[in-house]
Structure 1
Amino acid sequence: MELHLKRSPPPVPVTVNGVVIPAAAIAAEAQNHPVPKGRPGWAWGAAARALALREVLLQEAKACRIAPAPMELVAGQWETEEESLIRQLLESVIVPPAANEMRLRSIYENAPDRFRGPSLFEAAHILFAAPPGDATARATAQARAAKVLMELRSAPHRFAALAADHSDCPSRTNGGHLGQLASGDTVTEFETALIGMEEGAISEEPVESRYGFHLIRLDARALGEVLPFAAVLPRLREAQEKTDWVRASRAYVEQLAARAHVTGIDLAEAPWTEVKKTA
């Protein structure tokens, strides 16, 4: 009796207008796409789409007879020729509208608290350190922080003693005191927590940052003054121009991809990767 095993058909190669994207290149690119939990194969698909879109742009640059002219990004670091071609192509076709000052004034007036000068804080913390990529260490640090927080809720006056016993920050020798902090002195997550706390309060939950988990006590705060519209207009204009540029670049890439003959991957399967504007 013969057994006939059903074989899966070979995978369709990823091509763009007949140009093959090598499987090895996709595998290498996949390392740059972290896999969401429970979605095996996602990184490969994301990498294939990214390389296919890149090939679409490079083919269009060639069709437009653009010659590579790499620019220096930072001292001693230059674009590759392919990066140069894509940048020049986008610069040649994308002209977003000028920012509307009335629209920017409306954004400012609807949320003036977003546009303050530097604030000052007096704070203390207990740090439970863990590397950002170590899930086990971070879970352990969070559990340690939660346990100490339970002690603080019943005995907030023991903050300095608990900092000395548990904190992984050198400030433990000073009861966790960090001294006077200004806006920008700490990571965003830490400063956001400070802004949202009442003076004299201890954070209700451990605050996560790239360094680990923090239990924070806010001793004093002096919020900066709301800046006048004229002072924040350049920042608002720059932010709006970048947003408009990204929107226009996405629409342009979608048009190019719709005209391209692509096999092995569906470029409409997932959200488009935003094209970053070169500073």
Structure 2
Amino acid sequence: MGSCGQHASATPSEQKLPIISVNGVTIKEEVLANELQYHSNSDFDVVVQQAGQTLVIRQLLIEQAKQNGVDVTADNEEQGIGQLLADKVVYQEPSEEDCLRYFQNNREKFVTAPLLEVDHILLPASAEDEEAKEVARQNAENILVQLSQDISCFAELAKKYSACPSKETGGSLGQISSGQTVPEFEQQLMQHGEGLVEQPLASRYGFHVVNIARKVDGKQLDYNMVADKVKGYLVHRASRLAIQAYIHGLVEVAEIEGIEVGFAPELNIHL
């Protein structure tokens, strides 16, 4: 169920929805129309495809649950589907060797976040105002020219020009680690070493003139510190793949009309 991205440009009332049936059971048009809200795409046909596939899979699982003696009603569909999958989907849990091998092949995923001491000057601009953004960028570049000649005036310039409350402390943001600032700003920060960043960094708030006073790189974690996390990830992955295979098997033998159900290698099953 996505909340980001662009929504379809058309609505069910503007375009005709397909009539979809699964093993002789027709999915009601109002059910399909309601499901559309949980899928986002600028192409209405893609939204209909995603919603229809979701409902086809749900219907197949409910059908299988009932055939296997699971009591499924409109009030407990999620519980019934969960019980079916627990009973029918079998997968091999990862061994200690599997977990260790994954860790050794993906060491870069298991490091502590870098720690930075950051000073900044914010030149504000609305993300939708291109003219204001250009003015802010030019002002930031002018400040960078001054700082490249004399970094000691950073606090003075922050107090004079910055739109951030940190201007009262010379532009200091203190220590920053992962998740402590907006993602687009953090991603850029982490790419730089200590010292004055040579170009303004853009964010949803405008442009930032940045000086990284200190940077402590992340440290490699030992396997025993992340063993449970590794196993949990591999168990989840094995479970998802097994569920996908089970559903794929149901789709292959089902009589489905009105839609083609396709499977990507990592199908995100919305139930």
Name the counterpart of 2:9: none
1:154 aligns with 2:145: yes
Deviation at 1:13, TM superposition (A): 1.0
**Residue 235 of structure 1, CA deviation:** 0.9
- CA–CA distance in structure 2, aligned partners of residues 118 and 33 of structure 1: 33
The alignment-based identity, stated in percent, is: 26
**Contact 2:91–2:242 (Cα < 8 Å) also in 1:** yes
Question: What secondary structure sits across from 1:34 in the alignment?
Answer: coil
* Match runs of 1:35-50 below 5 Å: 35-36=41-42, 39-50=43-54
Query: Distance between the aligned counterparts of 2:133 and 2:35, measured in 1?
Result: 33
SS in 2 for 1:236: helix
C-alpha root-mean-square deviation of aligned residues, in Å?
3.5
The separation in 2 between residues aligned to 1:247 and 1:188, in whole angstroms, is 30
Q: Residue 87 and residue 164 in structure 1: after superposition, are their counterparts in 2 closer, same or farther (change >3 A)? A: farther
Q: Does 1:114 align with 2:109?
A: yes
User: Are 2:118 and 1:123 aligned?
Assistant: yes
**Pairing 1:20–2:15 present:** no
Alignment size in residue pairs: 249
Contact preservation (8 Å) 2:36, 2:51? yes
1:123/1:177 contact within 8 Å kept: yes
User: Amino acid of the residue matched to residue 266 of structure 1?
Assistant: E
How far residue 97 of structure 1 moved from its aligned partner, in angstroms, is 1.5
Q: Is the 8 A contact 1:11 1:264 kept in 2?
A: no
Instruction: Compute the TM-score of the two structures, normalised by the length of structure 2.
Output: 0.74
Change beyond 3 A, Cα 1:28–1:176: farther
Aligned counterparts, 1:198-217, within 5 A: 198-202=193-197, 204=199, 206-208=201-203, 212=205, 215=208, 216-217=210-211
Deviation at 1:140, TM superposition (A): 7.3
Do 1:164 and 1:175's aligned partners in 2 also have CA atoms closer than 8 Å? no
Matched, 1:228 2:222: yes
Provide Cα deviations, 1:211-268, integer angstroms capped at 9, x if missing partner: 6566354221112432211111111111111111111111111111122111111112
Q: Give the whole-Å Cα distance in 2 for the aligned partners of 1:61 and 1:166.
A: 61
Residues 98 and 149 of structure 1: CA distance in aligned 2, closer, same or farther (over 3 Å): farther
**2: CA distance between counterparts of 1:251 and 1:163?**
60
- Name structure 2 gaps, 5 residues minimum: 1-15
Which of 32, 51, 57 lines up with 1:53 in the alignment? 57
**For residues 1-279 of structure 1, what are the structure 2 equivalents within 5 Å?**
12-36=18-42, 39-67=43-71, 81-117=76-112, 119-125=114-120, 126=122, 128=124, 136=128, 146-156=137-147, 157=151, 161=157, 165=161, 167=163, 169-202=164-197, 204=199, 206-208=201-203, 212=205, 215=208, 216-268=210-262, 273-275=267-269
| Distance change in 2, residues 1:136/1:224 (3 Å) | closer
Give the aligned residue type for 2:35. E
Distance change in 2, residues 1:11/1:43 (3 Å) = closer
CA distance in structure 2 between the partners assigned to 1:272 and 1:263 by the alignment: 24
User: Partners of 1:21 and 1:259 in 2: how far apart?
Assistant: 18
Structure 1 length normalisation: TM-score? Answer: 0.72
**Given that residues 152 and 159 in structure 1 are in contact (C-alpha distance below 8 angstroms), is that contact kept between their aligned partners in structure 2?**
no
CA distance in 2, matches of 1:213, 1:104: 44
